[in-house]
């Protein structure tokens, strides 16, 4: 770069549903366990191993405390995708085919839908229920889909694209009354909203570190003590025999510390992000027409906004918004062609689903960031519509 050229400006990060930056306080908590306290947590015959084991158990307790569970009910995994797989294949294997009907929603995360597709191939009968135009499940329709042979239901706490919150307590009550296992992919909810697995009658819950300002490569599965499980990985029998493999002490510590911080700061962060979201929408409404919010405006994650615009092609807008880091949908399905399956589930046509932006605010988003983003999106969309760019 020539000396006279300005350094490129770092884009404003607005993709918090895809991933969150690791909080510097989490990095500091992890640091000692990379090279100083490096013992294998399963080698408890000496001080190095015991130190690592103690750090992991403290982290397990922090994860459990955030979701209202007991420490012994938390199994560390590599992330929410692995946790989802373990929940389905482990719990269903323990049932030994006693019941073979499963239920999920059409708007679920790809890591859930792909598992259910595989389970269909293995002979399970899967019901995939629709959601309404706001992205919410009709509990009456859900109750009507239950059968005597229903083994398990999986419903996402917060949708990763549209941020909609499902009525977990109502769903959990329906499942508990019939002895149906209730699994919840809560990767987008944990640490961002109050969540209690006991109150919601959740039997299995998946979470991911990098969605709540922890490191990538670590997650957890809550397994209620009453839930029978079989392993899907075999080896040394770690994690109650359900997930073999040496635990990565620094990552476990990082997840635990991230959970502790989230719990401490949750109420204030919900208030702050709700204000930023409404401020952004108000600014955009005052400067641009021809757009709408996808999903419920009220039953929604504080930091999530998903918008569709009246446009020919959203890609031209994104090309000229290189000062903003945002996306058109799920990072986990961005390599697939076609419109978002979540947005089409709401009833949007192909064009409207294609011309959408997912905007995510988080812990390090400032009011100035939000105001700049609203102004830039309005400017670029207007310029594309007028043919100026």
- Tens of pLDDT, residue by residue over 133-190, are 999 999 999 999 999 999 999 999 999 999 999 999 999 999 999 999 999 999 999 9
Segment holding 265, helix H or strand E:
helix 249-287
Q: How far is the C-alpha of 296 from the C-alpha of 202, rounded, in Å?
A: 23
Portion of the chain with pLDDT greater than 70, in percent: 96
Among 90, 234, 68, 239, smallest CA distance to 151 is for: 90
Choice among 175, 184, 259, 332 that is catalytic: 332
> With 70 as the cut, is the pLDDT of residue 88 above it?
yes
pLDDT of residue 22: 98
Does 6 have pLDDT greater than 70? no
At 9 the pLDDT is: 81
User: Residues 201, 82: one domain?
Assistant: yes
pLDDT for the residue numbered 334: 47
Stretch 263-278: mean pLDDT: 98
Of 220, 246, 262, the position where a domain reaches its end is: 262
CATH number at residue 303: 3.90.1150.10
User: Which of the listed residues 218, 235, 262 is the one where a domain comes to its end?
Assistant: 262
The model's pTM is: 0.95
Q: Do 240 and 349 lie in a common domain?
A: no
Strands 304-309 and 356-360: antiparallel
Residue 137 lies in a domain: yes
What domain range includes position 240? 24-262
Residues 208 and 306 in one domain: no
Round to whole Å and give the CA distance between 143 and 259: 33
pLDDT score at 328: 86
Instruction: Quickly tell me which residue has 């500091």 as its tokens.
Output: 28
Count of structural domains within the chain: 2
In a domain, 1, yes or no: no
- pLDDT of res. 13: 98
In this structure, the answer to whether residues 302 and 173 fall within a common structural domain is no
Per-residue confidence (pLDDT) for residue 140, from 0 to 100: 95
354, part of any domain: yes
Active site residue 115: no
* Statement to judge: residues 233 and 271 lie in one domain: no
Q: How confident is the model at residue 339 (pLDDT cuts 50, 70, 90)?
A: confident
> Taking a C-beta distance cutoff of 8 angstroms, is the pair 83, 206 a contact?
yes
Average pLDDT of the chain is 95
Q: What is the mean pLDDT of residues 236-248?
A: 96
For residue 137, give the CATH number of its domain.
3.40.640.10
CA gap 371, 33 in Å, rounded: 40
Share of the chain above pLDDT 90, in %: 93
């Amino acid at each position: 770069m020539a000396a006279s050229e300005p350094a490129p400006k770092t884009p404003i990060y607005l993709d918090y549903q895809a991933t969150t930056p690791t909080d510097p306080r989490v990095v500091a908590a992890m640091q000692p366990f990379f090279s100083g306290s490096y013992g294998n947590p399963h080698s408890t015959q000496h001080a190095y191993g015991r130190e690592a084991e103690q750090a992991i158990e403290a982290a397990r307790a922090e994860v459990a405390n955030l979701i209202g569970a007991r420490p012994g009910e938390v199994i560390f995994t590599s992330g929410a995708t692995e946790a989802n797989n373990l929940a389905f294949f482990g719990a269903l294997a323990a049932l030994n085919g006693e019941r073979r009907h499963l239920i999920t929603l059409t708007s679920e995360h790809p890591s859930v839908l792909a598992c259910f597709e595989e389970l269909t191939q293995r002979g399970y009968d899967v019901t995939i229920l629709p959601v309404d135009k706001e992205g919410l499940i009709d509990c009456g329709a859900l109750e009507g889909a239950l059968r005597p042979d229903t083994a398990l239901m999986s419903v996402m706490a917060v949708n990763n694209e549209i941020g909609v919150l499902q009525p977990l307590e109502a769903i959990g009550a329906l499942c508990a009354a019939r002895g149906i296992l209730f699994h919840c992919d809560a990767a987008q909810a944990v640490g961002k909203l109050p969540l209690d697995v006991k109150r919601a009658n959740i039997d299995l819950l998946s979470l991911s570190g990098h969605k709540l300002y922890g490191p990538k490569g670590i997650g957890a599965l809550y397994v209620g003590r009453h839930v029978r499980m079989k392993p899907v990985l075999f080896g040394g029998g770690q994690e109650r025999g359900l997930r073999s493999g040496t635990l990565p002490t620094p990552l476990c510590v990082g997840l635990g510390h991230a959970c502790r911080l989230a719990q401490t700061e949750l109420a204030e962060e919900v208030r702050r992000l709700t204000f930023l979201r409404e401020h952004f929408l108000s600014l955009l409404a005052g400067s641009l027409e021809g757009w709408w919010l996808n999903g419920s405006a009220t039953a929604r994650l504080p930091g999530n906004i998903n918008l569709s615009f009246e446009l020919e092609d959203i890609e031209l807008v994104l090309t000229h918004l290189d000062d903003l880091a945002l996306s058109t949908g799920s990072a986990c399905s961005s390599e697939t062609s076609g419109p978002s399956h979540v947005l089409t589930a709401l009833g949007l046509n192909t064009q409207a689903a294609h011309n959408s932006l997912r905007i995510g605010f988080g812990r390090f988003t400032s009011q100035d960031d939000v105001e700049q983003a609203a102004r830039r999106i309005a400017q670029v969309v207007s310029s594309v519509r007028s043919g100026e760019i």
